[in-house]
A and B are shown apart, each in its own frame.
Chain A
Amino acid sequence: GIQVEQSPPDLILQEGANSTLRCNFSDSVNNLQWFHQNPWGQLINLFYIPSGTKQNGRLSATTVATERYSLLYISSSQTTDSGVYFCFGNNRKLIWGLGTSLAVNP
């Protein structure tokens, strides 16, 4: 089946730092999305980004569908960015990454 790899698995940042999270798929996927799971467990949809680039405040995402990867950029990180970031897509089945666990320290 299709494999998805998220990197890095864990990340610790100082408040104000920038970071890039990556999601690689072993085959083409549709419907790529990025989610943030906050420390309270809520899953928040950040981007629906099957291709191209989108920006929302300090966050932006880029998907290069032909090369089967997506990037999530976090700029000027804040403690409220802490949590786990998941990428998700589908190709005849639903495919979730295992997440990048981010801790932003004040």
Chain B
Amino acid sequence: NAGVTQTPKFRVLKTGQSMTLLCAQDMNHEYMYWYRQDPGMGLRLIHYSVGEGTTAKGEVPDGYNVSRLKKQNFLLGLESAAPSQTSVYFCASSYSTPAFKGNQPQHFGDGTRLSIL
């Protein structure tokens, strides 16, 4: 089982460039999440999706867009990268859970290390 797969694993961008991070899960999970992790700040939720075709904002959504065209994929886009977006990005997935009151564990990908110069 692959679980949650993130591509790419590393990327260096110049300020103003755009890119898309791909997350794929093979567990038939309804919920998918994008986090960023910065030193001393733990994990912060960027956007999440409660199912195919739906997306919602998390704690720190500005500067990012997401799409969930297929249930197994969740894409995170940076339209115009900024140095403040240098971070490690994690994707996660879980089974259905209504309004974050559920009882299912999250499964994480291995992360994407993104540097913006």
Chain A positions within 8 Å of B, measured between CB atoms, are 30-31, 33, 35, 41-43, 45, 48, 50, 86, 88, 90-94, 96-99
Q: Closest approach, in angstroms, between the C-beta of B44 and any C-beta of chain A?
A: 8
Whether a CB of chain A sits under 8 angstroms from the CB of B27 is no
Q: How long is the Cα–Cα vector from A45 to B110 in the complex, in angstroms?
A: 12
Contacts of A41 in B (CB 8 A): 88, 110-111, 113
Contacts of A42 in B (CB 8 A): 108, 110-111
Number of A-B contacts (CB under 8 A): 56
Please count how many residues in chain B sit with their CB below 8 Å of the partner chain's CB atoms.
25
Contacts of B106 in A (CB 8 A): 33, 45, 88
Contacts of B33 in A (CB 8 A): 94
Say whether B43 contacts A96, CB under 8 Å.
yes
Q: How long is the Cα–Cα vector from A42 to B108 in the complex, in angstroms?
A: 8
Contacts of A50 in B (CB 8 A): 103
* Per-residue contact bits, chain B 1-45, to A (CB 8 Å; 1 contact, 0 not): 000000000000000000000000000000001000000111111
Q: Which of these, B42, B104, B108, B110, contacts A98 with CB under 8 Å?
A: B42
Say whether B105 contacts A31, CB under 8 Å.
yes
Q: How long is the Cα–Cα vector from A42 to B109 in the complex, in angstroms?
A: 8
Say whether B42 contacts A92, CB under 8 Å.
no
Sample (10) of A-B pairs whose CB atoms are under 8 Å apart = A31-B103, A31-B105, A41-B113, A45-B106, A88-B43, A91-B100, A91-B101, A93-B100, A97-B42, A98-B40
Say whether B105 contacts A33, CB under 8 Å.
yes
